[in-house]
Amino acid sequence: MENVEKRPFYLYSKPQITRNFEAYRDALEGLRSIIGYAIKANNNLKILEHLRQLGCGAVLVSGNELRLALHAGFDPARYSYMDLLMLAFRVIGKIGVTDELSVKLFAYLTQANVSMSRCIFNGNGKLLEDLVLAAQEGVFVNVDSEFDLENIVAAARIAGKKVNVLLRINPDVDPQVHPYVATGNKNSKFGIRNEKLQWFLDAVKAHPNELKLVGAHCHLGSTITKVRELVLSRNLNLIIEPGRSLIANTCCLVNRVTGVKTNGTKNFIVIDGSMAELIRPSLYGAYQHIELVSPAPTNAEVSTFDVVGPVCESADFLGKDRELPTPAERAGLVVHDAGAYCMSMASTYNLKMRPPEYWVEEDGSVAKIRHGETFEDHIRFFDGL
């Protein structure tokens, strides 16, 4: 640690990223499919380039994510030819697939020649200017609502290009996950209601110069087995959209213990990292395993600790009620499974600047893959004002 950084940093394993990709590739063998990496989980440019080289496509939720994907060499216009429609999925858990939602849609879709883009633009609040960029670049676009459809039509006209669209269906299933991350039930802000499906099918048909329907998109928990049956039986192309499962377990946040204290009822390990670098425990009550890096002294007392940062918020914790040996000051402490929605959600709250990132390469060497932000970077926002 001393040799690498004096501040919290993210440390990834490049070979683990490769292994996670290969696990998906193996599971999808025999299916015509694209693994579309959801960039919002982790947008490090070096990681994106690596995933692109492995063969991933990109799932985007903003114009800047599209710009970054282009910068990382993802080519939305590099179509792989296919003659059938497709289905895009987000994998959450292990719920049976609801099939009835698809019947109407599949009945409508024609078996026309569709070329399959490797980039898909999602979201419930896509901006017109971002949709224009997506239209120009030939990115597939999900239709999320009535106003979204209007904006996509407008973008197609401005760009002078027909947009390939997928209908974002809300299948109304309960994935039994934290309410903040559940996206496929009927209280969710994402997707169109089943009752409105026919309206959307007609609306797409009414704009033959602007829109071409190429598939359905839904966020629901489905086992790969169920999806495999569906895709094979209907001869579909599958776009699968993993974020977390490709990247979460490839990384830890490395911190240093500032000190240990008690308030009489609770014990605290105070570290230099915080909710600014890693917010999932505070935001969703996520459990991320915590370990000391170096073995504690043999006489170290094991106690129950909350592991907290220095930020002025009671929600600033990385872990609660963890059994750990009492660490020495300056001992290293790692928070595991920090690859997804950690750095990409990091803030500069309390002016804790976003940390640097490193990865371990195949040969075991450590390389920097992103500079840490500095105070000078912050002051630059005020240059010339």
Ligand X SMILES: *Cc1c(COP(=O)(O)O)cnc(C)c1O
- Residues carrying an active site annotation: 312
CB atoms within 10 A of CB 270: 18
Give 241 or 277: the residue with its C-beta nearer to ligand X. 241
Cα 137 from Cα 132, distance rounded (Å): 9
**Could you tell me the smallest distance in angstroms from the CB atom of residue 90 to ligand X?**
4
Residue 4 phi, psi dihedral angles, 5° rounding: -95, -60
Give 245 or 258: the residue with its C-beta nearer to ligand X. 245
Cα 5 from Cα 9, distance rounded (Å): 7
**Could you tell me the smallest distance in angstroms from the CB atom of residue 177 to ligand X?**
9
**Could you tell me the smallest distance in angstroms from the CB atom of residue 324 to ligand X?**
29
Q: Which helix (H) or strand (E) holds 368?
A: strand 366-370
Map tokens 């001992």 to a residue: 331
Strand, coil or helix: 139? coil
Give 90 or 126: the residue with its C-beta nearer to ligand X. 90
Cβ–Cβ < 8 Å for 121, 170: no
Give 40 or 256: the residue with its C-beta nearer to ligand X. 40
Give 197 or 340: the residue with its C-beta nearer to ligand X. 340
Q: How big is the chain, counted in residues? A: 385
Query: Both tokens of residue 305?
Result: 């600790």
Query: Both tokens of residue 210?
Result: 């602007």
Give 238 or 270: the residue with its C-beta nearer to ligand X. 238
Query: Both tokens of residue 222?
Result: 């489905």
Binding site for ligand X (CB under 6 A): 38, 40-41, 59, 61, 90, 122, 241-245, 340
Give 260 or 345: the residue with its C-beta nearer to ligand X. 345
Provide the H-helix boundaries in 55-188.
63-71, 100-108, 128-137, 146-159
Do strands 9-13 and 357-360 pair parallel, antiparallel, or not at all (unpaired)?
parallel
Enumerate the β-bridge partners of residue 290: 335
Cα 357 from Cα 79, distance rounded (Å): 33
**Could you tell me the smallest distance in angstroms from the CB atom of residue 245 to ligand X?**
6
CB atoms within 10 A of CB 295: 9
**Could you tell me the smallest distance in angstroms from the CB atom of residue 243 to ligand X?**
3
Please compute, for residue 193, the number of CA atoms within 13 A of its CA located in the half-sphere on the CB side. Answer: 5
As to burial, measured by CB atoms within 10 angstroms (0-12 exposed, 13-18 middle, 19+ buried), residue 350 is middle
- In DSSP notation, 46-77 reads HHHHHHHHHT-EEEESSHHHHHHHHHTT--TT
Provide the H-helix boundaries in 234-349.
244-247, 280-284
**Could you tell me the smallest distance in angstroms from the CB atom of residue 381 to ligand X?**
28
**Could you tell me the smallest distance in angstroms from the CB atom of residue 331 to ligand X?**
32
